[in-house]
Structure 1
Amino acid sequence: MRYLASHERAVRGTFDFPIELYYVDKHHPRYEMPFHWHMEHELILVLQGALHLSINGEACTLHEGDCLLIADGSIHGGTPQDCIYECVVLDLERFLPMASKCGQRLAQIRSNGARLEGRFPAGTRAAELTSRLFEAMETEASGYEFTTTGLLWQLLGEIMARHLYRAGTANVLRQERRTQAVKKVLQRIRADYSEPLTLDDLAGEAGLAPRYLCRLFRQVTGRTPIDYLNYYRIECAAELLCTTPDNVTDIALQCGFGDVSYFSRVFRHLKEQSPGEYRRAHRT
């Protein structure tokens, strides 16, 4: 099973209820959140510990009870710290038909470049509504679809009333252009991480000079393209260690490492365990 992707295309929920809940703890193959994006909105609720996130290059840390709404198309990734968190991914456009009054209101706001994206600290009304929405989806009590939809509408009403979204500005538009180049590189890494890739290959994918790509990529992800390539390869290897019986040498080769000793050094550097220790600790 493949969990990792740069551009996720998974169908969320069902056609007539396009929303899905994910519970993530240290045993989840995607506990560490590689940079990715999807064309749905995402709500995150931290249940325990801290989650250090980057959204289009802007850092954000969530603690217990904090919530975050991530807009469609935003490049985001995160590093958990003794963390348990949940995500709800939803296709907002299918919840709000454009013929409805609410859909028209949302379209009007977004036509000016605004993005439904923001942090809701623990204790706020928006965080309370988000937490209740997660609870409804967790329990799936009879009629939970009505409860979930109602809470989503209430949350959107709170966001609109208190302007808890990112207004359209020239800076937001510049940021959008910047992320498009990074998305191309992330897609190339996702597609070809098992093959030899150089900085020139990745720069060519983005249509940028290597030096400029390094600066831009670091602004969005916090890493250089090659550092991120190795990080992504290790995350793929960690997933294979948890989900397949393949030996360490085969996994290293599958994930683009021609030198098993180098693979082991990079793995230990990023995971603070050897591949064998990681497999034993996360096999369940």
Structure 2
Amino acid sequence: MAERRLWDIQVQNTKSLKEDRPHGSASFRCAFYQAEQDENYFLVKHHWHDEIELLHFKKGNFHMEINMESYEIKEECFFFVNPGELHYITAAKPCEEDAVVFNPNVLSFDSYDTMQSQVIQPLINGNLWLPRCIEASHKVFHDIYVEYDRIEHAFRVMEEYRENAGQKNVSVSVSQMLIKASLLRILALLTGEGLLTRQESGINHQVESIKKVLTYIRENYRERIYIRDLAGLINVNEQYFCRFFKRAIGRTPMEYVNEIRIRRAAEMAVNTDYLIMDICLECGFNNLGNFLREFKKYTGTTPRLYKKENRNSFTGEIKK
């Protein structure tokens, strides 16, 4: 089991919005993440992955965006993110959230029975999608909750076994079987209620365009970035691009660029011995005054004070 970190602020993977961190082990592509945030601001960056993500929003007010659609979450519920979907989460108050992230191949069987051919294989191929949200009032919520709780418990047991070098591997195998069984039961519940939807073959070009632009920004935030260059990536004019980007991300292109730069600067201020001017230049700012203004805008303080306050407890948090 792993604690969900504020990965976006640290900009650990600047090469792509596709999350390349492994979920689970090579033999069992499934992981459980847990987050409890009691201060200020919780943020998981825009990203996508090949795995299915089942999120359990327990407590707090969350804002979630999936493929350019926004959701305000104020009550306990489950959310499903399908493979390849661009998503982003924020919460501005004390909150509790956790998630199971798994490769759909985890559900697969060698025997090509009806379940494999009509449900699991289409899910793996991206031709079948899970529902967006199961609210607490939905009749299958309780049954899904029971299975989800079993998954969490199995991960805890598995973690205890792994921390005990003397335990036999068979105990880990049993936990993995229980996790797989509960995932299959959740899939069966959704299938029984007709909550899975067939997907037309084709690409959501707007989402792919946003992925392309955000990836370019993360790769090139150290350099000068012009609106004309971003617009040129998706072959539209600058005026249209700015409206399109603001509608999709909720910020102007340059606001987003500066946010990425300041996230990197905040990490460098805490985790390196670079001088403030060096951080300024390394993060794509050519003017120290502008850098200091932007840093204070996003963090509420100066780089020097931020370094002093967070040197021994950096979590990547940026105050809003």
CA distance in 2, matches of 1:177, 1:67: 27
Q: Which runs of 5+ in 1 are unaligned?
A: none
1:82-231 matches, cutoff 5 A: 82-97=94-109, 100-101=112-113, 102-106=115-119, 107-108=121-122, 113-122=127-136, 124=141, 125-140=143-158, 142=171, 143-168=174-199, 176-231=204-259
CA distance in 1, matches of 2:252, 2:263: 16
Mean alpha-carbon deviation: is it higher for 159-168 or for 77-86?
159-168
Per-residue CA distance 1:8-64 (angstroms, 9 max, x = gap): 122221222001223334599x94222111111112223442221110111113346
Deviation at 1:4, TM superposition (A): 4.5
Decide whether aligned partners of structure 1 residues 185 and 152 sit closer, same or farther in structure 2, where only a CA change above 3 A counts.
same
1:264-275 matches, cutoff 5 A: 264-275=292-303
1:84 aligns to what SS in structure 2?
strand
CA distance in 2, matches of 1:238, 1:157: 45
- Paired residue type of 2:294: V
CA distance in 1, matches of 2:194, 2:279: 48
Mean alpha-carbon deviation: is it higher for 236-245 or for 77-86?
236-245
Matched, 1:69 2:80: yes
CA distance in 2, matches of 1:166, 1:257: 46
CA distance in 2, matches of 1:237, 1:262: 13
Mean alpha-carbon deviation: is it higher for 160-169 or for 32-41?
160-169
Aligned partner of 2:91 among 80, 89, 104? 80
Deviation at 1:258, TM superposition (A): 2.0
CA distance in 1, matches of 2:218, 2:269: 18
Deviation at 1:246, TM superposition (A): 3.4
Per-residue CA distance 1:52-104 (angstroms, 9 max, x = gap): 11101111133464221101111111212222322332111343258643332
Q: Which runs of 5+ in 2 are unaligned?
A: 1-9, 161-170, 314-320
Aligned partner of 2:68 among 27, 52, 57? 57
CA distance in 2, matches of 1:20, 1:109: 19
Identity among equivalent positions (%) equals 25
Deviation at 1:209, TM superposition (A): 2.0
2:247 aligns to what SS in structure 1?
helix
Decide whether aligned partners of structure 1 residues 148 and 111 sit closer, same or farther in structure 2, where only a CA change above 3 A counts.
closer
CA distance in 2, matches of 1:271, 1:122: 36
CA distance in 2, matches of 1:51, 1:154: 27
CA distance in 2, matches of 1:257, 1:17: 43
Aligned partner of 2:281 among 220, 228, 253? 253
Matched, 1:234 2:262: yes
- Paired residue type of 1:103: Q
- Alpha carbon RMSD of aligned pairs, Å? 3.1
Per-residue CA distance 1:189-230 (angstroms, 9 max, x = gap): 121111111111111222222222222222322222222212
Q: Which position in structure 1 is the counterpart of 2:29? A: 18
Mean alpha-carbon deviation: is it higher for 104-113 or for 191-200?
104-113
Deviation at 1:247, TM superposition (A): 4.0
On the 8 A contact 1:129/1:151 being kept in 2, the answer is yes
1:32 aligns to what SS in structure 2?
strand
On the 8 A contact 1:24/1:31 being kept in 2, the answer is no
Q: Which position in structure 2 is the counterpart of 1:42? A: 53
- Rg larger in structure: 2
Paired residues, what number?
280
- Paired residue type of 1:263: F
